[in-house]
Structure 1
Amino acid sequence: MNIRFYAPEWGNVLPFDTFCQNVKAAGYHGVEMALPFEQKEKDQILEALAKHGLELIGQYWQSFEKDIDEHAANYEKYLRNLIAAKPVFINCQTGKDYFSFEKNKRLFDLAAALSIESGIRIIHETHRGKSLYAANVTYDYLTRLPDLRITLDISHWCNVHESLLADLPDEVALAITHTDHVHSRVGHPEGPQVNDPRAPEWDETLETHLKWWDVVVAEHQKKGTELTVTTEFGPATYMPVMPYTRMPLADQWEINVHMMNLLKKRYATV
């Protein structure tokens, strides 16, 4: 099977062309990111990606509006903007945790219709504050909407449930069977991101995440389908910081490259 790795644009402070050069040199296949609406700016981004031979995963995260009609209208606007760039697929932080099933389903149905219309796959991320914010809630959605495909960012669930999910095996197992894409961030019971997954105090937590990802890989291997991974450790202050100075405790770029190389080595024979 094939596993392709993507860098998050989130946290980048370099000129975009320089960032792309670094992404390519590190061994990534592409970048996951949102896109601006301004055409010239968007064209410059797409030209830089093409120049460096990098693929694009479109990213939607702007789920803010409380009114469902306004929310759905903006959801479609953002998705159509991403669709126009012809990404590999679109990863959506769809809906709100306080929306009813029917309201979130309206957004899932809209994404499915846009996907059929455009031929661009649209999947939905397990993310705090969004529709798939918890393992048990996602289980209900996946049971009732069996065609739903997801980005598994299980770090959020560790935080939401304040655990490493040992008491939610059925919920995790079902989510894995619906997973097309992984965000390989390591969460823990008190937060969505450990300060540095290379530190020995996080060995057990890291190993728990690796075992989840092993099952995702095995699922794709069994089906003969491609798996994509974005190494999405975030910048300060998502990354823990020092008090007063607000300096990050570790280097975001180094950690993400480390996670890519760790997973490439782990799955080299898959």
Structure 2
Amino acid sequence: MQVQFFCPRWGSEALSISSFCRKAKEEGYDGIEYGVPITATKETLDEVWNEAAKADLKIIIQHYDTVDAEFSRHYDRYCSWIEKIGPYPAVKINSQTGKDYFSFEQNSMLISAAASCNKQVLHETHRNKFTFAAHTIHAYLRQLPGLRITLDASHWVCVAESYLEDQEEAMELAIVRTDHVHARVGYPEGPQVPDPRAKEWEYALNRHLFWWDKVAERKQQANEILTIAPEFGPFPYMVHSPVTGHPVADQWTLNAYMMNLLKERYR
């Protein structure tokens, strides 16, 4: 099994895209995960792909900002976004899709629209989207056999206020359908522990490693490439001291730590 690691652009926007790509390459990443907003211009996207190519980095495209509450407008904007990124080569698309309050039929229309894309689209497990909880996505996975996901269990842990010990059936099916992993560690009161290296978060880390190991095992058996994006984020995901306003840990360092931990684990 080959494992490829993708560095999130999220949190490093202060760097130029050329500096970001160089830094990601020097850190040992295989690619970048780049969020493309609906407002992105052709000039901006061309620059991203050119700079990634110069650094010999692959790209996973991320969709995140279709947020309209009115479904028909939401649907049209989502389809427009899919059309926008059509010409750009990417390993896959990670899509934060739909809304938690849209109906099954409405979210299924968005999933169907994504399937018309000329790239593999994976629907990220994320709060506020149709994938917001393990127990609700279970119905989608059962009824839509072609549905594939990006597993970010940190959101589900937060939503359920538990480490999902009582939702094994839903987790097993989600793992079977996973083609990309966001390696962030959540806990019952939040989607990101302050520092996964700290002893007090050992149980949280081990629960997520348990799920990621199962994904890796399936990819190993199928002789498929496993893609992982360590995705510890900036404020407000990153805890800041209320006195100094400083983050309790460095985002870049945490993501590099997670990448190297998993490189060694799945070597």
What TM-score comes out, normalization by structure 1 length?
Answer: 0.95
Q: Partner of 2:59 in structure 1?
A: 56
Contact 1:82 1:90 in 2 (8 A): no
State the match for 2:254 in structure 1: 255
Tell me the distance in 2 between the aligned counterparts of 1:71 and 1:180: 25
Conserved 8 A contact 1:95-1:130: yes
* C-alpha separation in 2, matches of 1:158 and 1:98: 19
Q: Number of residue pairs matched?
A: 264
- In 2, are the aligned partners of 1:237 and 1:248 still within 8 Å (CA)? no
User: Can you list the C-alpha shifts for 1:95-114, whole angstroms capped at 9, x where unaligned?
Assistant: 00000100000000111122
Q: Matched residues in 2 for 1:124 and 1:221: separation?
A: 22
One-letter code of the match for 1:106?
M
Give the Cα–Cα distance (whole angstroms) in 1 for the partners of residues 110 and 243 of structure 2: 41
The aligned residue for residue 116 of structure 2 is: 113
1:244 CA drift (Å): 4.7
- Tell me how far 1:203 sits from its aligned partner: 0.7
Match for residue 74 of structure 2?
71
- Unpaired runs of 5+ in structure 2? none
Take 1:217 and 1:104, find their aligned partners in 2: how far apart are those partners?
Answer: 28
Query: In structure 2, what is the equivalent of residue 82 of structure 1?
Result: 85
Name the counterpart of 1:172: 171
Unaligned runs of 5+ in 1: none
Which residue is 1:234 aligned to?
A: 233
Deviation string, structure 1 residues 58-109 (Cα, Å, up to 9, x no partner):
0001131111110011111112222221111111000000001000000001
Q: Secondary structure in 1 aligned to 2:196?
A: coil
Distance (Å, rounded) in 1 between the aligned partners of 2:134 and 2:141: 10
| Offset at residue 35 of structure 1 (A) | 2.8
Paired residue for 1:148?
147
Contact 1:236 1:247 in 2 (8 A): no
Instruction: Look up the match of 2:29.
Output: 28
Which runs of structure 2 are paired with 1:118-133 in the superposition (5 Å)?
Answer: 118=118, 120-133=119-132
Helix, strand or coil at the partner of 1:48: helix
The secondary structure found in structure 1 opposite 2:218 is helix
| Partners of 1:63 and 1:35 in 2: CA distance | 11
Give how far 1:239 is off.
0.7
Q: Distance in 1 between matches of 2:44 and 2:217?
A: 40
What's the % identity of the aligned pairs?
Answer: 45
1: CA distance, partners of 2:195 / 2:120: 33
1:190 aligns to what SS in structure 2? coil
- The answer as to 2:219 corresponding to 1:243 is no
